[in-house]
Chains A and B, each alone.
Chain A
Amino acid sequence: AQKVTQAQTEISVVEKEDVTLDCVYETRDTTYYLFWYKQPPSGELVFLIRRNSFDEQNEISGRYSWNFQKSTSSFNFTITASQVVDSAVYFCALSEARGGGTYKYIFGTGTRLKVLA
């Protein structure tokens, strides 16, 4: 069965600190996709990144970076120089591949990030 574990329930940091959100997944599939979403207080899930299982390159987008390691089944998310606007709940999700595309997502329980001014 597929499973996503986000062990950190809540993290508080002071503005400008770096913070890493952990994500560990389980799947028997050889082809799968991993995602990170941000859910601000308004409630809408905002897509941040998609990574497929064959692409282990780390990615950087501005202050955001992602570290994908198949050997440890982890897909961690780092925010550099955090800002108050980064305060939200962050979800990691896993999808098996079907018909060449993704399918239903399995979400972790989320990590609530609080960035204090």
Chain B
Amino acid sequence: DTGVSQDPRHKITKRGQNVTFRCDPISEHNRLYWYRQTLGQGPEFLTYFQNEAQLEKSRLLSDRFSAERPKGSFSTLEIQRTEQGDSAMYLCASSPPEMEKETQYFGPGTRLLVL
């Protein structure tokens, strides 16, 4: 089985620039989640998709953040006008539709550094 993949693995950008991250879930997983993890903390929920529908967004997801999942397959997370406080690990997870197997499997993450 191919796991969740994320691209890029690392991103360094200057404050004010836009960045976009991609997540490819495990095939046939209909649920996809984005989390953010800062140093010394656990992951914090950002947003959730079921198929192509974005069903919930955290208050952490300011208007500079946007996520999409066209056609219910891969997802992108874009941050506009990045700020130094956006520096973090961005994690993507996916889970299968079968209730008895409902567990989120995480990708390797994209580590963002905003200078």
Which of A's residues lie within 8 Å of B, judged by CB? 4, 33, 35, 37, 42-47, 50, 91, 93, 100-110
- Interchain CA distance A4-B35 in the complex, whole Å: 16
Q: A43-B108, A43-B111, A109-B40 are in contact. Are A104 and B45 (CB under 8 A)?
A: yes
Are A105 and B108 neighbours in the complex by a CB distance under 8 Å? no
Are A91 and B106 neighbours in the complex by a CB distance under 8 Å? no
Of B17-25, B62-70, B75-83, B96-104, the one touching chain A: B96-104
Closest A residue to B104 by beta carbon equals: A105
Q: Judge if B74 is at the interface, Cβ distance under 8 Å.
A: no
B103 in complex: contacting residue of A43, A50, A104, CB < 8 Å: A50
Q: 4 closest pairs, A vs B, by CB?
A: A107-B42, A101-B102, A45-B106, A104-B45
- Interchain CA distance A44-B41 in the complex, whole Å: 14
Size category, B interface: 20 to 34
Closest A residue to B48 by beta carbon equals: A104
Are A43 and B89 neighbours in the complex by a CB distance under 8 Å? yes
Q: Judge if B87 is at the interface, Cβ distance under 8 Å.
A: no
Q: Judge if B28 is at the interface, Cβ distance under 8 Å.
A: no
Q: Tell me the minimal C-beta distance from A32 to chain B in angstroms.
A: 12
- Interchain CA distance A91-B44 in the complex, whole Å: 12
Q: Can you list 30 pairs linking A and B with CB atoms under 8 Å apart?
A: A4-B42, A33-B102, A35-B103, A37-B106, A43-B89, A43-B108, A43-B111, A44-B106, A44-B109, A45-B43, A46-B106, A50-B103, A91-B43, A101-B95, A101-B99, A102-B103, A102-B104, A104-B33, A104-B48, A104-B56, A105-B33, A105-B35, A105-B45, A105-B104, A106-B45, A107-B43, A108-B42, A109-B41, A109-B42, A110-B42
